[in-house]
Amino acid sequence: MNTEKNSAISIEQLRRNQPRFEGIKSGHRACLGCGQALAARLVTEAAGPDVVVANATGCLEIFTTPWPESAWHIPWMHSVFENAGAIASGMEAALKAQGKSTKVLAFGGDGGTFDIGFQAISGMLERGHNVLYVCFDNEAYMNTGIQRSSSTPHAAMTTTSPPGSERMGKRHLKKDILTIVAAHHIPYAATTSIAYPSDIRKKVRRAMDIEGPTFIHIHCPCPLGWGHDGANSIKVARLAVQTGLFPVIELERTELIGSMPIRHPKPVVEYLKMQQRFRHLFTTKDARAREELEHIQALADHNIKHFNLQGDTMDALDSDGADTVRRGGMRWA
């Protein structure tokens, strides 16, 4: 028993002696199980201290900066919903004029990225600014009352896409933001998920090393808006990937260069049943509900086929090496 105690102490001492950089620390006001808070912490850890951040209005901005407090430990600026890309562009131009190598990061949720702020982001990408833009995607306007965004999945229930006699939740498909961004011919664009922290860190570091505009899209479950227990956020995020509904991929100048393989794809109902925003698909005898479930399964099947996600070898979705990706038919970690 003494040996076990001494071993535990030595491990704890080792952890204290090897601290990781924390760009965002405890004391913020995020909900329990908030995927966005975890994603922001992972991104800033990987990016390191020599960065400046432009943060669009949204959940992340609100819960990290309740006046007069701040959870940020890096230079950080609040932009409005629509201009994070423009603010980041100005930061990058100013630093370049001063001969400084500090990397500029821009943060936004799906509302500030897919919708309201897209014009400024598009301009930033088209002009070639050396900025890493990170989208923390919780699939609705959670900060203002859970309204649908163009990132909200098909058939999901929000306060502005309620199920009823006219429709079974949101009518429209989730916008394919990664392909739209990649169409600007930027050097690097990728998707990732909070279920796979090492994949987030690896992609952030890769993007940081690239000169020019880069984009990372992180899937971040929201217990409040999705209607699941905060303790299940990682499980929900992992199922989104394992079903094929959220493909984890990498693009270089529009070309697919990496994907996270799925050895045994799971049925989409395993993912949907864990969330109250899809409960109407399971609590009604309406034939339309069955049709929507079939439609969602078809979307996942299409992703698996389109991105060649199903792999024969052992993949990360069945093990702790969850960030394993295939490049050009080969696997790398």
For 89-98, the pLDDT digits (tens) are: 999 999 999 9
pLDDT of 111 above 80: yes
Per-residue model confidence (pLDDT) at position 321: 46
229: helix, strand or coil? coil
Alpha helices in 28-102 (DSSP H): 35-47, 59-64, 84-97
Q: What is the mean pLDDT of residues 72-87?
A: 97
pLDDT of 243 above 50: yes
Instruction: Compute the CA torsion angle 92, 93, 98, 104 (nearest 10 deg).
Output: 0
Q: Are 256 and 328 in contact (CB under 8 A)?
A: no
Tell me the whole-structure pTM to 2 decimals.
0.90
Confidence of residue 6 (pLDDT cuts 50, 70, 90): low
Alpha helices in 72-189 (DSSP H): 84-97, 110, 118-127, 177-182
Instruction: Enter the DSSP assignment of 253.
Output: T
Confidence of residue 11 (pLDDT cuts 50, 70, 90): low
The model's pLDDT over 250-288, given as tens digits with 9 standing for 90+, comes to 999 999 999 999 999 999 999 999 999 999 999 988 899
Residue count of the chain, please give it.
Answer: 333
Distance between CA atoms of residues 211 and 132, nearest Å: 10
- Residues 256-295, buried b or exposed e (16+ Cβ, 10 A)? eebbbbbbebbebeebbebbebbebbeeeeeebbeebbee
pLDDT of 77 above 60: yes
The model's pLDDT over 122-131, given as tens digits with 9 standing for 90+, comes to 999 999 999 9
Distance between CA atoms of residues 61 and 67, nearest Å: 11
Confidence of residue 202 (pLDDT cuts 50, 70, 90): very high
When the pLDDT of each residue in the chain is averaged and rounded to a whole number, the result is 91
Distance between CA atoms of residues 174 and 177, nearest Å: 9
pLDDT of 178 above 50: yes
pLDDT of 332 above 70: no
Q: Please tell us whether the domain made up of 23-332 is placed in CATH 3.40.50.300.
A: no
Distance between CA atoms of residues 163 and 144, nearest Å: 20
Share of the chain above pLDDT 70, in %: 88
pLDDT of 316 above 90: no
